[in-house]
């Protein structure tokens, strides 16, 4: 079975774009709903994009390139969406680096 990166591409039409501010347990993000056609059948999909708010972001009726599963065309994704996973990994990396720096300073202070 091909990976998601090998799925065919098609043009999607943005139906709606909504900005969510985020909260205590979530990051700010856009939710984008789009439609697309495969073999004369219409499908819809959605994704969340964890990118900063911008006037230049997608608007209704914009065209995007999506990938869809050739065996199940109703399953699709937008490959350029920024996931919250990347933000969590970035935050984890910053925390790990800060912890390591603190350990080095503690070690150096104890061995003066």
Single pTM value for the model = 0.70
Better-scored residue on pLDDT, 19 or 94 = 19
In whole numbers, what is the pLDDT of the chain averaged over residues? Answer: 84
| Residue 71, pLDDT score | 96
Residues 6+ apart with CB under 8 A from 21: 28
Residues 6+ apart with CB under 8 A from 92: none
H or E element, residue 106: helix 84-110
Better-scored residue on pLDDT, 62 or 54 = 62
Better-scored residue on pLDDT, 56 or 98 = 56
Instruction: Give me the residue spans of the domains in the chain.
Output: 4-81, 83-112
């Amino acid at each position: 079975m091909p990976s998601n990166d090998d799925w065919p591409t098609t043009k999607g039409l943005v139906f709606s774009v909504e900005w969510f501010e985020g909260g205590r347990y979530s990051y700010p993000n856009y939710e984008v709903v789009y439609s697309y056609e495969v073999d004369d059948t219409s499908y819809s999909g959605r994704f969340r994009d964890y990118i900063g708010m911008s006037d230049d972001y997608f608007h209704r009726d914009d065209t995007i390139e999506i990938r869809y599963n050739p065996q199940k065309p109703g399953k699709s994704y937008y490959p350029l969406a920024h996931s919250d996973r990347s933000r969590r990994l970035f935050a984890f990396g910053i925390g790990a680096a800060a912890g390591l720096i603190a350990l080095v300073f503690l070690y150096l202070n104890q061995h003066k």
